[in-house]
Chains A and B, each alone.
Chain A
Amino acid sequence: MKCLITGITGFAGSHLAEYLLSRGDCEVHGTMRWRSRTENITQLGDRITTHVADIRDATAMYELVRDLKPDRIYHLAAQSFVPMSWVAPAETMTTNVIGQINIFEAIRAVGCPTRVQLACSSEEYGMVLPEEAPIKETNPLRPLSTYAVSKVAQDLMGYQYHQSYGMHIVRTRGFNHTGPRRGDVFVTSNFAKQIVEVEKGRQAPVIHVGNLNAVRDFTDVRDTVVGYYLALEKGKPGDVYNVATGKGYKIREMLDILLSFSTVKIETRPDPKRMRPSDVELLLGDATKLRTETGWEPKYKFEQTMKDLLDYWRAKV
């Protein structure tokens, strides 16, 4: 089976590539932008084939789909960082929404029977009322950032292209996911890296933190990408699936778990710059639908994920 991962150099993309390779029945291709950093995929060497193709360039996407005719596309390429969408809202919309149109239109123009998984996001739920948690797929979408709005657009566009053209598209709404190679702009990885910097004497024993009371449902990225795979193989075309553990941790608890794997004494200090203009207090997902329809089951315990993340930074810093 010929698989194409858009955004293969990214965090989830690189883990999905590893998972598909481990299956033994997939030929793995990936798109990357010109001058993308390749540190997440160097360990894969020539077991994968990369193609320089920016999803924002319609012609580049068309030529790639025409030449490759993949059986599966896992569409992960995106401007995926919520705070970036505060300063660059138009760019976020262009990359995420127009980029996906370019992929869909390329498939339509080539006429290949490619199945597409869309990596949508729990951020689409946005403002969640306390009685709504854990969130099901039927929950209203009340996005609170331009990033979230762009993901709502991707999500509904997936529905629309399935309805209008019968394309085999499955949407996944990934809740927070983390693990080795997570970029240090994301909270788990940022804290883990700061702890390692303190351990190595490169930072004073103070950790700068944002909102510690927010509750997040963290899935290990290695489980998340299996969810993407199963959703596309066994999920219903046109349908949408949460990918989540259903277990919530306050950011504070997550930090305590990280600190429990370290011997250094560290003070936490609030940093107003790390607060978002509007933040989602509670994000807890109900993935019953994915579990019952595809047999997905997360395998990694949160403590294991946090320990692996620390070890990743210990090897890297």
Chain B
Amino acid sequence: MTRILITGIEGFVGGHLARHLVASGQTVFGLHWADAPAGLPGELHKGDVCDFDTTRALLETTRPDGIIHLAGLSSVALSESHQMTTYEVNALGTLKLLEAVRQLQLKCRVILISSADVYGRSNVGRPLNEDLPSLPLSPYALSKHMTAEAGRFYHRAFGLDVVVLRPFSHTGPGQTATFVFPKVANAIAQTERGTREPVIEMGDLQVRRDYTDVRDVVRAYGLALERCAAGETYNVTSGKPVSIKEGVDYLCSLARVPVQVKSSAAKFRPHDIPLLTGDPSKFAAATGWQPEIPFTKTLSDLLDYYRNV
């Protein structure tokens, strides 16, 4: 594939994906709703995935062979204060994209990004594979379940070439400081600069999550364009859970000044699941993908990113 459209190109994953695809010789088009950061590669178009006319016109002019649909509200916390917007952007936005592809009869692979959060209460505490039922526990998770169902429906009913990916937690340089490790990295960098107190208040540090470097994740998305089977759903994950505490401790060990992390019960999330780990074998078998960047490097790059912001 040579012409790839990335929706939500201005986001954390979008920037990494655009640079990866351009470096591997693809022509990249991007749809962005918030202002795009300086230096983002690709032919950029401003618009909202909730606006069907915008999406259809963009597909008609760019005629991509592949679409990677990243545009969406990506925060569980935000989804709780903006429930309707979450459904409008994540669910309806996806439906509008698929419907535009269908109407224009584009020969085009569509990669939909669902989320490990859709598993929710499913098979708690054990590795999750793609055949388990979805039991979402937040508006965000429900909206990402709807994203995936929309894709599977358009494949089943209209034969669209849709692949659904379920990434587990991922982080790396550029992620906003509302997420856990960027928050700690940012706090450490600020403490080093002397602009904040050395005490960092966190939620539950004992929960364990698979973590993958964002640069490995975007490489997986690129492979999915070529190697996954239409209509199928795949976990994208390292399969190696770490506790939040391990990651935070490692970040603190890199700090140039003493910092102190406190776990505060007031910051615990109501539905937090103690362990989220995925079975990566289906995606590995289809694409040969394996994560390459060790988590310690992800964290040190993340800290360097916040030192240089």
Contacts and interface: CB of A to CB of B under 8 A. Distances in A.
Given A34-B73, A37-B34, A37-B35, A90 B53 contact: yes
A57 B54 contact: no
Given A35-B34, A36-B34, A91-B48, A54 B54 contact: no
Size category of the A interface is 20 to 34
Interface in B66-101: 73, 75, 78, 81-85, 88
Contacts of A89: 53
A60 B53 CA distance: 26
Contact of A63 (B46, B47, B73, B81): B81
Contacts of B57: 87
Given A34-B73, A34-B78, A37-B34, A91 B84 contact: no
Interface residues of B, number: 23
Interface string A19-46: 0000000000000011111000000000
A88 B53 contact: yes
A204 interface: no
B51 interface: yes
Nearest to B81: A60
Interface in A185-239: none
Interface in A59-96: 59-60, 63, 84, 87-91, 94
A58 B88 CA distance: 12
Nearest to B46: A84
A53 B81 contact: yes
Contacts of B75: 34
A53 B46 CA distance: 21
A177 B78 CA distance: 34
A173 interface: no
A127 B25 CA distance: 49
A54 B82 contact: yes
A56 B35 contact: no
Contacts of A88: 47-48, 51, 53-54
A52 interface: yes
Interface string B1-20: 00000000011000000000
B34 A91 contact: no
Most chain A CB atoms below 10 A, which of B35, B53, B85: B85
A60 B51 contact: no
A53 B78 CA distance: 9
B303 to A, nearest CB: 22
Most chain A CB atoms below 10 A, which of B46, B51, B176: B51
A57 B51 contact: no
Interface of B: 10-11, 34-35, 46-48, 50-54, 57, 73, 75, 78, 81-85, 88, 176
Closest A-B pairs by Cβ, 9 of them: A91-B51, A35-B34, A57-B85, A57-B82, A91-B48, A60-B82, A88-B51, A37-B35, A88-B54
12 contacts: A33-B34, A34-B75, A35-B11, A35-B34, A52-B78, A53-B82, A56-B85, A57-B83, A59-B83, A60-B85, A84-B46, A88-B51
